[in-house]
Amino acid sequence: MGEKKYVMGNFAITRGAVESGVQVAAGYPGTPSTEILEGFAEYQGIHAEWSCNEKVALEVALGASLSNVRSMAVMKHNGTNVSTDLLMHLNFTGISGGLVVISADDPAGHSSQNEEDSRILVHTYANLPVFDPSNAIEAKSMVKDAYELSEKTEMCFILRPVMRVCHSRAVIPFEDYDEASFPKAQWRDDRDRYIMSGVEVPELGGIKRPQARHRWLNNKYKELQELFEGSPYNHVEDGEGNIGLVGCGIGYTYIKEAAGMLGKKYPILKLCTLPIPKKKILGFLQDKEKVIVFEELEPVVENLIKQLCQENRIPMEVLGRSGFYPPDGELTAQMVLDAVKKADPEVKVIEEFQPRKIDIEIPVRTRTQCVGCSYRSLLYNVKRIARRYKGIVFGDIGCHDAGSFKPLELQSTIYCMGASVGMATGAFFAGEKRPVFSIIGDSTFFHLGLNGLINASYQNGKQVVVLCDNATTAMTGFQPHAGSGINLYGESAKKVDLNKFGEAIGVSVHHVDPYDNKRTYETLKEAVQEEGVSLVISSRACYLKGSREGIKFFEPREVHVDQERCNGCMVCINDFGCPALIYEADNKKVHIDELTCVHCAMCAVVCKRGAIS
Amino acid sequence: MKKDILIAGVGGQGSLFATNVLCQYALERGLNVLGTETIGAAQRGGSVVSHMRISDQPIYSPLVPPGRGDVLLGMESIEFLRNIKILARNGYYILNLYSLPTVYTNLGIDRYPSEDEIVAAVKEACEKGYIIPATVKAAELGNTQMTNVVMLGVLGKVDDFFEYSEVKKIVEKISPKKFLKENLMAYEAGRELV
Ligand code: SF4
Ligand code: SF4
Ligand code: SF4
């Protein structure tokens, strides 16, 4: 029999997949989902890969599934957006070997550029079945059930864990599994399903295949509704009164937390599946006047219950995310308490929360590049050039994006993966007279940036693309990519030759060593004066990763600020901004914090008064 | 019984070892444990909070709700202040008096409060707790990364639930060989701070 381990929710999901016999797992790093795929590296005999982007990952997983083995695609909500086109086809074709997609949401956007509820894409839009786990143990068990049901129904299943489930730590049962029992790859043609095209289907009166498959999906949806009536993930807990609380996924845990502080026991309906079990819900609604639905992040289940009430002519107040409590951000136990009090003013709250008074201004903390990171001197030089030529800098996602915050405020935009290059092209063709720049990291470039670059070149645009090549996906914890030369297992792998790539698509390629201040500046200056698209590749490994591995980046040098010479102009902070440089408001001078400085000496070139040496 | 603990600090300061020790301690006593952490970007310097909940009853949410925390461990002064709302009326704190400036305080946009102001504000807001120089102590012992182990030593000393010698056994058990001696020294040093 197996053992129990205290692990992160993400590893519980990995383990669930391994015990289910997953043979192929593919994904792209993104908080909060990253560790799920990393977890596969520990297991033999499974092909796990960091794909170039999430759509590719889903294609890989689908190809494996149609080859009759179990597979998994792992992504965060933004990645689900990227793979939507494929989702909108595989929902029509169905699958062969069990296929589970993990679409991890980050309500409140703790580590994201936006917040969204991917249940809308995968369920409301693609009509696929969804498990919304309330905790890590449930997530693991759902993964295992999802594989069984996926094969039984021929449907791709989605697990939608939110960040608090992914990043929770709990005691998880590790069960044994028998590798010999897992099916081997065996392709079988099934042209009526796998060839998605507008051909006629004579047996259905000549309607086109897309419509025929849509009909299939609609029937499947009904079948799933029936199936989930008996799901162990939906249940009712009795209580008193005519107000019911509905908890979806993590929402259920906040209800249970709040229940301990309420002077009355409310009936609870836990709902962790989509489609919703209609009969079970109708049963719960029977003696109720109001229900409050707690879910992250949009009123998905709330709207489904409203629809159900309307279909059945049930007069019911269905309250929730649509305006009864805050329609954005994460849920909390306090939000549940507040909502319950609003719906039931009579209720007593045991031990009402009284905030402590704290009489002090607390400064905010933003992230920035690590001390010693080569991006700092790169951005410093891009800022100098952009200032000199009045450039507009389009930003992308990655460690360099911190250059868009104070003090640098270099990039003017941050949207989604790879958007910088295309947006710069658009500004150029809009007739913007100022030169346009884009800054993009290598992992983002391989994800969805290269299409934009090919397009920029093809359209005869003009821009300087600064490619920050640190040979890894640093922000999410150093996952390799197509330019790293290694794969997920750390084994050597093919590496894209960016030079040849640039040449092949007709852009002018430059290289800089960002630690070489002068050459970096000169190269950027050359690039901005060129016709056409210039690709400036700044190649230096991630300092944080590299220094842990013992790589030497520079000759360390003791650096000090001469307090006599420093006149407090703050150029070193505003244009460069190493966190080890500290401005002392009292004497209006800068000094270096010895505990944090790594002696890279990059700041020495920044001070035009020669105070840093 | 229940023990809701929150550890607040800055990315790169390291608190994972301490949470692992406390968790192991609770598990060995047959208690339920549930935790969560905000893991920001790999880059250093963002706010980091880990929640750890121990109970003999089922635990539902991994988040300690505001006003319900039994122990607030502050690895850095303003991160501690930022999370003070978590502390229950009868809860207590252990604050490592240590200031890591922010980008904005370096820039002179925000002001980092002085140690005196911090101490005064903390004493005003909370009844029970300990203010200690754990990072200074860890640096004396040769490695600021041991701050969290020093704080563990304080916890073992002041909290009846965490038996000093039992926690020490776990520190011994789960320390990587390379850091075993250092960690034990840091743990002992914590006890002497209070
Ligand atoms: S993680 Fe690496 S690339 Fe990112 S800021 Fe730190 S050193 Fe730079
Ligand atoms: S060190 Fe130089 S750049 Fe920085 S504030 Fe002083 S004079 Fe200005
Ligand atoms: S030498 Fe200058 S730039 Fe480098 S870490 Fe120290 S203060 Fe920062």
The CATH number given to whatever domain includes residue A611 is 3.30.70.20
Domain endpoint, select from A179, A201, A227: A227
pLDDT score recorded for residue A148: 98
- Contact yes or no for B144 and A573 at CB 8 A: no
**H helical segments located in A278-418:** 278-285, 300-311, 333-343, 374-388
The range of the structural domain enclosing residue A565 comes to 554-613
What are the tens digits of pLDDT across the range A246-281?
A: 999 999 999 999 999 999 999 999 999 999 999 999
Which residues does chain A have within 8 Å of residue B107's beta carbon, measured at their own beta carbons? 406-407, 570, 573-574, 577, 583
Q: How far is B61 from chain A (nearest CA, A)?
A: 5
Above 80 in pLDDT, residue B39? no
Please tell me whether the interface predicted TM-score (ipTM) of this complex is above 0.85. Answer: yes
Q: What percent of chain A has pLDDT over 70?
A: 100
Residues A63 and A180 in one domain: yes
Q: What is the pLDDT of residue B42?
A: 65
pLDDT in tens, B113-163: 999 999 999 999 999 999 999 999 999 998 888 999 999 999 999 999 999
pLDDT computed for residue A57 by the predictor: 98
Same domain for A569 and A540, yes or no, is no
pLDDT tens for each residue of A449-502: 999 999 999 999 999 999 999 999 999 999 999 999 999 999 999 999 999 999
- Say if the Cβ atoms of A573 and B107 lie within 8 Å: yes
- A522 alpha carbon – ligand 1 mean position (Å): 24
pLDDT value, residue B40: 67
How high is the mean pLDDT of chain B?
Answer: 93
Number of domains into which chain A is organized? 4
How many Cα atoms are found within 13 Å in the side-chain-facing hemisphere of A573?
Answer: 27
Interval A95-127: pLDDT, tens: 999 999 999 999 999 999 999 999 999 999 999
User: Per the domain annotation, does A362 fall within a domain?
Assistant: no
In this prediction, residue A452 carries a pLDDT of: 98
CA A609–ligand 2 middle distance (angstroms): 7
Count CA within 13 A, CB hemisphere, residue B43: 25
Residue A381 contacts residue A426 (beta carbons within 8 Å): no
Question: Can you tell me the distance from the alpha carbon of A533 to that of A421, in angstroms, rounded to the nearest whole number?
Answer: 10
Domains (range + CATH), chain B: 2-192 (3.40.920.10)
- Any idea which residue has 């607040």 for tokens? B8
A43 and A149 housed in the same domain: yes
How large is the average pLDDT for residues A564-591? 92
Residues A434 and A409 grouped into a single domain: yes
Higher pLDDT, B38 or A535: A535
CB A155 within 8 A of CB A140: no
Burial of residue A328, with CB atoms counted within 10 A of its CB: 0-12 exposed, 13-18 middle, 19 or more buried: exposed
Q: Is 80 exceeded by the pLDDT of residue A1?
A: no
Q: Do both A540 and A391 map to the same domain?
A: yes
pLDDT digits (tens, 9 = 90+) for A394-407: 999 999 999 999 98
CA A413, A416, A417 angle in degrees (round to 5)? Answer: 115
Chain A positions touching B126 (Cβ under 8 A) are: 356
Q: For residue B108, name the pLDDT band (cuts at 50, 70, 90).
A: confident
Convert the pLDDT of each residue in B44-65 to its tens digit. Answer: 778 889 999 999 999 999 999 9
Token pair recorded at residue B6? 């929150």
Above 90 in pLDDT, residue A354? no
Q: Is residue A368 part of a domain?
A: no
Mean pLDDT of A157-182: 96
Cβ contact B47–A365 (<8 Å): yes
CATH number, position A268? 3.40.50.920
Subunit contact B34:A333, Cβ cutoff 8 A: no
Contact A460, A499 (CB under 8 A): no
Say whether both A155 and A255 belong to one domain. no
Domain of residue A105, CATH code: 3.40.50.970
Q: Per-residue confidence at A595, pLDDT binned at 50, 70, 90?
A: confident
What pTM, to 2 d.p., does this model score?
A: 0.96
Å between B97 CA and nearest CA of chain A: 15
Q: For A15-42, what is the mean pLDDT?
A: 97
A501: number of Cβ within 10 Å: 17
